[in-house]
Amino acid sequence: MDASFPEPSLYTIKAVAILDNDGERIIAKYFDDTFPTSKEQRAFEKNLFNKTHRANAEIIMLEGITCVYRSNVDLFFYVMGSSNENELILASVLNCLYDSVSQMLRKNVEKRALMDNLDGVFLAVDEIVDGGIILEADPNAVVQRVALRTEDVPLTEQTVAQVKKLIKDTTPGWLKKGTVREGNSQ
């Protein structure tokens, strides 16, 4: 076998990141030790953002890492792999991440909406990639799994907004405001 081609591996994703329009980290998960410290990770993210925030491309090779990216309003989505990784595979993970977030945020993909649903976005990233291995590339399946997992969270670990929504969704119609009748008027 030719020595120039490395052995195929399931560990295709080195990192997933979402940065704001200032290049600041919102979400970043690194799956290997290419950048072992948080300081090195942030320096790489800053460099990556500086190279991509004005470019109209979808892919860049930076510091020996293949990065595919996509921007929308005030967010930048990145998926990174090794220098010899198939860009189409990285792009399918990127599209799954973006489309999943878009569905979860009801097509309102911007920083404020993402921050309000950060827990769900973290779950989506975990559903798509685990330890660098791609688990799912279908955004509908990811959104469905994230919705199931948030319903299974114990009441004490849910946010106030989640509890309010749960109460609103599970309150019977006759108990809702304005529908309860006082006594019997005969």
Structurally, at CATH architecture level, domain 15-169 sits in 2-Layer Sandwich (3.30)
Q: What DSSP string describes the chain?
A: --TTSPPP-SB---EEEEEETTS-EEEEEE-SSSS-SHHHHHHHHHHHHHHHTT---SEEEETTEEEEEEEETTEEEEEEEETTS-HHHHHHHHHHHHHHHHHHTTT--SHHHHHHTHHHHHHHHHHHEETTEE----HHHHHHHHHHHHHTS-GGGS-HHHHHHHHHHHS-GGGSTT----S---
Model confidence band, residue 174 (pLDDT cutoffs 50, 70, 90): low
- Whole-prediction pTM: 0.76
Confidence check: pLDDT of 56 > 70: yes
pLDDT of residue 19: 95
Q: What percent of the chain has pLDDT over 70?
A: 76
| 64-80 pLDDT, tens digit each | 999 999 988 889 999 99
